[in-house]
Structure 1
Amino acid sequence: MPLEVRVAAALVRLYALPLTRIVELTDDHIRRDQGHTYLTVNQHPFVLPPKLARLIDDQLQYSPRHSNAAGCRYLLPGYSPGRPRNPLGLADTLRHHGLPARAARNTAMMDALVDLPPMVMADLLGIHPKTAERWATLAGGNWSEYLAARRAAPQG
């Protein structure tokens, strides 16, 4: 399976990122410190699993080296220099390899909403809070107890 397919599929399945956001990722979104690699999305850094970090490093190393106007290299460069990969073409490529991106993203989002409040997911993914709330309802998550506990907790 091509490296870019493995990278894109992992980002969809682990972080519920839409392909439109994945294709906009550049080397500026990747940060490293002692022992960890981070992917920053919507100003929120996510710790990447070591295997995914290696895949992303390989993708950046072996992908075409043309940069965008800001001098950043796209994680998934397009065929035109300085342009990202087309998300519709990437969706077709993933589907060709048996990886339907929309179904994978929906599943990942529902899994995440079982563990995280909808407002947190909305902020992390850049989706509307009402959309996150609807997804949480579909996932069977009920965060009313969490919200009540937050309101009752003393601030300080």
Structure 2
Amino acid sequence: MSWAQRTRHLSKEIALPKERRAHAELPTDAEDRWQIGWRLIHDESLDPVDRLAGALVALYAQPLRRIVSLTTADVIATATTTGLRLGPTDVLDLPDPFAAIARNLPLKRRTGTAEQLPTTWLFAGGHAGKPLSATSLGNRLRAIGIEPRKLRLSATEQLARELPPSVLAGILGLNAHTVAKHTFKTNGQWANYAADRRP
């Protein structure tokens, strides 16, 4: 709009609202992130849903929309391991206690009729056949001191420093372009990986 006034396409007598500049969101501090991870591992007073969802954000940089879209079919349990399918092909091995939590979801919370209906959503919502919404999950995490967006940004930056973009894209289902951007931003050890490879 200010361009329109400068080029006289819009009268200068019209008062325009001040432009709002978006501030880049800062990631959670690395030490705070590890404190959150420790709490999610050890604090059994937390709701299991919040523990697993929080871990998927804090440790594996998962967006809330993907977390709430997970189903029981995404949990791959064997006699010795429990995996979670986050990406298109690979399965992420979950450590305990998160493996045990994933095997026991979804939780039945009430004795009403809706609770008796089968559901395949890992993070079941309050209505029969519906998953928990990303907004509701975000509110739950914030209620226990977790800022999902900041925490996910912190996790993405660390993972991008430590793992090749192709691994993150495959196992964690993260967007390859986004991973590459974070890798270059953080000067990760894989920043020159593609350029240094020889066919």
* TM-score between the two structures when normalised by the length of structure 1: 0.82
Return 5+ residue gaps in structure 2 as ranges.
1-45, 110-114
Candidates 118, 121, 125, aligned match of 2:168: 121
Task: Report the count of equivalent residues.
Answer: 148
Mapped contact 2:162–2:189 kept (Cα < 8 A)? no
Shift of 1:150: 2.9
* Structure 1 or 2: more strand by fraction: 1
Confirm whether residue 48 of structure 1 aligns to residue 120 of structure 2: no
Candidates 131, 142, 149, aligned match of 1:84: 131
What's the % identity of the aligned pairs?
30
Looking at structure 1, the residues matched to 122 and 168 of structure 2 have their Cα atoms a distance apart, in angstroms, of 23
* Residue identity in the other structure for 1:90: L
Shift of 1:126: 3.9
Candidates 141, 149, 157, aligned match of 1:110: 157
Looking at structure 1, the residues matched to 132 and 50 of structure 2 have their Cα atoms a distance apart, in angstroms, of 12
Looking at structure 2, the residues matched to 62 and 151 of structure 1 have their Cα atoms a distance apart, in angstroms, of 54
1:9-68 Cα deviation digits (max 9, x unpaired): 011112111110000111100111231101011232010002111122233354645445
Confirm whether residue 6 of structure 1 aligns to residue 51 of structure 2: yes
* Structure 1 or 2: more helix by fraction: 1
Confirm whether residue 135 of structure 1 aligns to residue 177 of structure 2: no
Mapped contact 2:92–2:172 kept (Cα < 8 A)? no
* Residue identity in the other structure for 1:9: G
1:54-87 Cα deviation digits (max 9, x unpaired): 122233354645445xxxx111111121111000
Q: Quote the residue 2:106 is aligned against.
A: 60
RMSD: 2.1
Q: 1:86 to 1:61 in 2, by over 3 A?
A: closer
Larger Rg belongs to:
2
Confirm whether residue 96 of structure 1 aligns to residue 150 of structure 2: no
Mapped contact 1:67–1:74 kept (Cα < 8 A)? no
Candidates 25, 37, 43, aligned match of 2:82: 37
